Amino acid sequence: MNRKDRFRFTKSSVLLLGALLFIAVVISFSCDQKTDETMIPTEEVKEATIPQTETSVPGKPQPYFPMFRGNPAHTGAYDEAGPKTSPELLWKFKVPAVILGSPTIADGIVYVGSFDMHVYAIDAATGVEKWRFKTGNWVESSPAVADGIVYVGSNDNHLYALDSATGIERWRFKTGGFVVSSPTVEGGVVYIGGGDGNIYALDSVTGREKWRFGGLENGFATVSVADDTVYVCDEEVGLYALDAVTGEKKWFIDGYFNELTSMAVLDGVVFKEAGWYIIAIDAATGKEKWRFKGEAEKKSKPPAVTHGVVYATYTDSYVYALDAVTGIEIWHTRIPGRRKYIYDFNPTSPTVADGIIYVGSVGIENNNLYALDALTGVEKWNFRAAERIDYAPTVVDGVVYFSDMAGYLYALH
């Protein structure tokens, strides 16, 4: 081979080698992209990639309003800080029967309803009872507090308005069925569902009816209110959006939605559990944006939403973190414990406060309240209760409040 031929061969070899390297890089990049898009969830917690800049973080926690899930939109996210490390028991309070619903805290007082037909007011610092009010049936409704009035429903078909300091009745409103739902207070109006198939809007001061929306299979739903719109589910029929001022229907979507559970509304999106799915719906039009399905044949619980992330729990003991815009899974983890019965709610809906997710567990192995890191899902601590925990905790002023099915109300700090 002469010098000229050797040069030609060397030049050709370099070009061929460069082409092969280019093809290898392209193939490697394509494989990496495909792997990311088709990643299969594992049992291990996956690291979160939650946006952190001011301009890219939608859905910061709303200021705390003393009502179910922390605000009228029921986001389940609190602008408060709870215990991040192993907590101490501040106090626990025992009622004669099961406590139903999540506790509500306002002006240093904790309000809860019970199966013994009473509404209780307990000092938030000491756990000492301040007053109790007896209704005509058990109280499943989580109280709401606004302008010195406690609003709470009872299965005696009434919504009650009580003086928050004394428990003295201000007024009551009678519906045609059980008032299982928790009242939502916004703009001087109390919104409540009745077992008679009506959604009521009442003047918060006088209790006078402003409007009602009827024709539902039942009105057991707890309504969410955001941007002058009332969102409510009707058993297995569908989801309504109503004008908050007039009660007129804005839109309706057909489909299965659990009527006993609320939905979170944030940044123009409705986030709702629907059987095995978490669904994101455009709040203005009712059009579905995305849906996420967890483990097969396991029902989801009402989610919490904050900082661009949807946190959801399933009765298979899993907790998921989803991107609020796309519905793509960020991470998941599993809470210890197995369901004892098919209808055990395990775990509770999540409560999120200052980077911590609080969930209660209903299982054979434990009856714990868990604190998980919101970025990773890693457990921070757990606290053993006397019995199963059915209702989402509430976080206010550095304290997490929750109840168990033994009739205890706990305060941890």
CATH number at residue 382: 2.130.10.10
Q: Is 36 inside any structural domain?
A: no
Of 15-29, 219-233, 246-260, least confident by mean pLDDT is 15-29
Residues 329-367 pLDDT 10s: 999 998 876 655 555 557 899 999 999 999 998 666 678
Q: Is 388 inside any structural domain?
A: yes
Question: 42: exposed, middle or buried (C-beta count within 10 Å: 0-12, 13-18, 19+)?
Answer: exposed
Q: How far apart are alpha carbons 371 and 306 in whole angstroms?
A: 16
Q: How far apart are alpha carbons 266 and 285 in whole angstroms?
A: 14
Q: Is 46 inside any structural domain?
A: no
Q: How far apart are alpha carbons 152 and 294 in whole angstroms?
A: 34
Q: Is 41 inside any structural domain?
A: no
Q: Is 355 inside any structural domain?
A: yes
Residue 341: the pLDDT is 59
Residues 119-164 pLDDT 10s: 999 999 999 999 999 999 999 999 999 999 999 999 999 999 999 9
Q: Is 308 inside any structural domain?
A: yes
What residue numbers bound the domain in which 144 lies? 57-412
Which span out of 53-57, 59-63, 211-215 was modeled with the highest average pLDDT? Answer: 211-215
Instruction: Tell me the sheet residues that pair with 329.
Output: 322
Q: Is 39 inside any structural domain?
A: no
Q: What total of structural domains would you count in the chain?
A: 1
Q: Is 216 inside any structural domain?
A: yes
